[in-house]
């Protein structure tokens, strides 16, 4: 493809950065990984209101090998209650997209990697054809079938490089007319080094103030209903001696789960709340079993998600019990590197958790295989694969 070699890459992402959600972790990890391949990487994000002057490199525990550029947008999202945020969100997305378009039209020597649908559509519509050859998009989900999906797929068809985090996303894009030769499947990853040299399980429990002599199940991540934590809390009610530690989550969803815990397993569910991402491995390694109880009720959970916590669980050296869904089944195999159970079934989840907790040799075998398999999912490897793909597909100005 004509044009100069790709040496600069802008990750243009409309998120609060740093923030508490997984997409910020993924962006920081990929910026670090892509920079390690020799690319000059800028993360381009909005200056969100209220602005918190936090160091993103310290917040995410990544090296200062990339820069962060902040551009203005009209942001009133957090000034109104959640139920009224739709219009402010659209205004913020539009103004961020237009500022990103203006930037892209001027700084023509950089490739651009996008990941939100609104900014993609604005840049595809606003850039001339030659400049669209610099665009890549990373797709993490799709709208429901219909006009919104068709419009997004049309925009995706205009860019030369498309990255999906699951095979299901790739297949759905192909069915919408996207050229399969333009698509790379690159599942999310993990910082493997963060799991090396951790204290033993008993020491970690003492340091973290967790139950020292009871079976311990861990969950780390958000508390949205599609994450299935409600089912996990209910399942714990049938495991009379076991405790559950929940790391992460938000104030909006936590009260619902606390009420559920008080009903099903009073005193045995420990809500840790958000912790620095570099601390998550300590909580996972303190557990006996890690659960990923994703619900099958929503397509993002069934087919599209590539959870960061999946790969962190695999790297922790602990047995995994997860929902038997296509998204997780792309990485996990029942009886090989995890135990898989029907989604949204607390009885089945309780039964399998009990089996794993009561059979240490079997749990050890599952954990050892998962630790072996996760070596292929480091952020560094993902960065190398994505960088090679972008260098092959994108064309920047000569």
DSSP code of residue 279: G
What separation in angstroms does the CA of 380 have from each of 33, 112, 371, 387? 5, 20, 16, 10
DSSP code per residue over 133-179 = TTEEEEE---PPTTHHHHHHHHHHHTSSEEEESSHHHHHHHHHTT--
**pLDDT at residue 296 in the model:** 95
On the question of a common fold for 8-189+378-393 and 192-377, the answer reads yes
pLDDT of residue 196 exceeding 60, the answer is yes
DSSP code of residue 5: P
What confidence tens digit (pLDDT) does each residue in 239-260 have?
999 999 999 998 889 999 999 9
Do 134 and 112 touch, CB atoms closer than 8 A?
yes
Given phi > 0 = left and psi -120 to 50 = alpha, else beta, which region is 177? left
**pLDDT at residue 49 in the model:** 87
Given phi > 0 = left and psi -120 to 50 = alpha, else beta, which region is 216? beta
**pLDDT at residue 107 in the model:** 87
Predicted TM-score (pTM) of the model is 0.93
CA 147: distance to chain centroid? 26
What per-residue string of b and e applies to 223-260 under the rule 16 or more CB within 10 Å gives b?
Answer: bbebbbbbbbbbbbbbbeebbbbbbbbeeebbeebeeb
In the structure, what pLDDT confidence band is assigned to residue 3 with cuts at 50, 70 and 90? Answer: low
198/221 Cα distance (integer angstroms): 20
What confidence tens digit (pLDDT) does each residue in 245-302 have?
999 998 889 999 999 999 999 999 999 999 999 999 999 999 999 999 999 999 999 9
Taking alpha carbons only, the member of 213, 186, 218, 191 closest to residue 202 is 213
**pLDDT at residue 398 in the model:** 65
What separation in angstroms does the CA of 120 have from each of 99, 113, 212, 259? 12, 9, 49, 41
Instruction: Find the mean pLDDT for residues 171-187.
Output: 97
30/311 Cα distance (integer angstroms): 15
97/266 Cα distance (integer angstroms): 47
Instruction: Find the mean pLDDT for residues 225-250.
Output: 96
What per-residue string of b and e applies to 18-43 under the rule 16 or more CB within 10 Å gives b?
Answer: bbbebbbbbbbbbbbbbbbbebbbbb
pLDDT of residue 323 exceeding 80, the answer is yes
Instruction: Find the mean pLDDT for residues 155-162.
Output: 97
Q: Which fold has domain 8-189+378-393?
A: Rossmann fold (3.40.50)
Q: 7 is written with which tokens?
A: 């040496």
pLDDT of residue 62 exceeding 70, the answer is yes
Q: Return the domain boundaries, the chain.
A: 8-189+378-393, 192-377
Do 324 and 342 touch, CB atoms closer than 8 A?
yes
pLDDT of residue 2 exceeding 60, the answer is no
In the structure, what pLDDT confidence band is assigned to residue 1 with cuts at 50, 70 and 90? Answer: very low
Angle at 140 between CA 170 and CA 250, to 5 degrees: 155
Taking alpha carbons only, the member of 295, 194, 306, 286 closest to residue 244 is 286
Question: What CATH code is assigned to 192-377?
Answer: 3.40.50.2000
What confidence tens digit (pLDDT) does each residue in 17-48 have?
998 889 999 999 999 999 999 999 999 999 98
For the chain, what is the mean pLDDT?
A: 95
């Amino acid at each position: 493809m004509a044009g100069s070699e790709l040496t600069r890459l802008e990750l243009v992402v409309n998120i609060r950065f740093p923030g508490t959600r997984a997409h910020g972790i993924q962006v920081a990890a990929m910026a670090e990984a892509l920079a390690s391949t020799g690319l000059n990487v800028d993360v381009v994000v909005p200056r969100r209101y209220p602005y918190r002057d936090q160091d993103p490199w310290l917040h995410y525990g990544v090296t200062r090998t990339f820069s962060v550029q902040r551009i203005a947008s009209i942001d009133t999202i957090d000034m109104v209650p959640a139920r009224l945020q739709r219009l402010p969100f659209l205004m913020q997305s539009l103004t961020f997209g237009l500022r990103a378009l203006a930037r892209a039209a001027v700084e023509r020597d950089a490739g651009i990697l996008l990941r939100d649908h609104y900014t993609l559509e604005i840049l595809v519509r606003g850039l001339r054809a030659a400049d669209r050859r610099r665009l890549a998009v990373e797709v993490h989900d799709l709208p429901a079938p219909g006009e919104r999906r068709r419009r997004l797929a049309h925009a995706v068809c205009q860019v030369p490089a498309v990255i999906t985090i699951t095979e299901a996303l790739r297949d759905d894009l192909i069915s919408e007319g996207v050229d399969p030769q333009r698509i790379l499947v690159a599942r999310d990853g993990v910082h493997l080094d963060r799991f090396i040299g951790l204290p033993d399980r008993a020491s970690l429990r003492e340091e973290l103030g967790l139950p020292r002599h009871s079976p311990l199940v861990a969950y780390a991540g958000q508390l949205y209903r599609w994450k299935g934590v409600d089912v996990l809390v209910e399942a714990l009610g049938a495991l009379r001696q076991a405790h559950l530690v929940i790391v992460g989550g938000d104030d909006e969803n936590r009260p619902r789960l606390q009420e559920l815990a008080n009903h099903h397993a009073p005193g045995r569910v420990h809500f840790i709340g958000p912790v620095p991402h570099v601390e998550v491995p300590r909580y996972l390694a303190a557990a006996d079993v890690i659960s990923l109880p994703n619900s099958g009720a929503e397509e993002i959970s069934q087919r599209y998600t590539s959870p960061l916590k999946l790969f962190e669980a695999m790297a922790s050296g602990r047995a995994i019990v997860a929902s038997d869904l296509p998204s997780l089944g792309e990485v996990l195999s029942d009886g090989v590197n995890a135990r898989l159970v029907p989604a949204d079934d607390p009885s089945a989840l309780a039964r399998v958790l009990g089996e794993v907790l009561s059979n240490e040799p079997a749990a050890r075998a599952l954990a050892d295989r998962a630790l072996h398999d996760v070596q292929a999912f480091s952020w560094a490897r993902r960065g190398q694969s994505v960088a090679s793909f972008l260098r092959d597909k994108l064309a920047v100005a000569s």
